[in-house]
Amino acid sequence: MKIRIMLITALLLGSAAAVTSQTPAAPTTHLKVGDTAPDFELTDTTGNKVKLSDLKGKKNVVLAFYVLAFTGG
């Protein structure tokens, strides 16, 4: 019984280590809360290119980043 518990514990710890080792490190940035976002360009849901600078003074923009959301990672 003790050997079975030790084997199960070893498997669980090995699985946890494998998952932890695959998690990428968060990128570093020089930006701070309240800083102006740098200009960038992305594709919107209809396939059109949109630059952040094109919206300045015309629309309110909220940037939200979901790290690894909707990815295979």
Mean pLDDT, range 6-29, rounded to an integer: 61
Q: How much is the pLDDT for 36?
A: 84
Contact 61, 50 (CB under 8 A): no
pTM for this entry: 0.46
Q: Which residues pair with 41 in a beta bridge?
A: 51
Q: How much is the pLDDT for 10?
A: 57
The top-scoring range by mean pLDDT among 22-26, 48-52, 58-62 is 48-52
Q: How much is the pLDDT for 25?
A: 73
Question: How sure is the predictor about 37, in pLDDT bands with cuts at 50, 70 and 90?
Answer: confident
